[in-house]
Amino acid sequence: MLFLKKKYGGVMFFDGHIVRYFLGNIPVIVTSQHDGYITYLDGVSLPMVFNVANDVGSRLLVETMSAFSLTSFYSPYVFIYKVQKSRSSWELYKDYLEELTKQAQRIMRAYGRCLVLDIHRFHKKPECDAQKDCDIIFGTNLRKSVEGDIDFIFAQIFRKAISDFTGKDYSIYVPTTEVIEGTRFGATGINPDRIIQSKWLKDRLPEVSTIQIEFYKELLALPIRDRIAKALAMAIERLNR
């Protein structure tokens, strides 16, 4: 895939036909794969493949987080899949996964570890425990996609950062190895066919940890989205200090 080096607002990034990525300086990749905007490619309209809506706000959350992280010494790599979710064929999506895998391999060689945070949105709150509904879900395919306790560690750091920036205590559900029927999220292990990125990376790079972070739709709308983006940037920084 051919990438053009571009600059916007003083920020350097690499832009390809279907992938845009920003270089980082820590072993973390943040991805947005379900909020693309491309409906034409090489002058040809991409056909509808799925009757699904974008995870609206997830790409802007990632881009805003990336902008905030540039003010610190801890900037994650960022990968954005630019194709609209409903028009994403397997051939195009596979090209994105292959580029993501190459970057994860480079990070593994440089740092000996790699964490991928994959940002998504959900529309209806599931009941995740006896006390409250979930605001944020950490999908790990019942902990098959992570090494060690990185999911629990990052959830604790992220929860504190969100509280610092919003003044609210949002619920973060981190699945264990037990299926909770109320969640109904592929990333928790109930529908494993829906976690293609996590499974793809784990099959090829077993030491890479992947967390599919699902945000309730209201957290990806303004004005709260910018504060969540700041919290995510801060949590990633605190994890890597």
Q: What is the CATH number of the domain that holds 91?
A: 3.40.630.40
What is the model's pLDDT at position 140?
86
Q: What is the pLDDT of residues 97-136, one digit of tens each?
A: 999 999 999 999 999 999 999 999 988 776 666 556 789 9
Task: Please count the structural domains in the chain.
Answer: 1
Domain that holds residue 141: 4-240
Quickly list DSSP for 54-121: --TTHHHHHHHHHHHHTTSS---EEEEE-B-GGG--HHHHHHHHHHHHHHHHHHHHHHS--EEEEEEE
Averaged over 157-174, what is the pLDDT? Answer: 94
In the chain, the amino acid numbered 229 is: A
CA dihedral 112, 113, 114, 115 (to 10 degrees): -170
Report whether pLDDT(146) > 60.
Answer: yes
pLDDT > 90 in the chain, percent: 66
- pLDDT class for 168, splitting at 50, 70, 90? very high
HSE-CB at 66 with a 13 A cutoff on CA atoms is 30
CA–CA dist 91, 77 (Å, integer): 24
Task: Band the pLDDT of 35: cuts 50, 70, 90.
Answer: very high
pLDDT at position 151 = 95
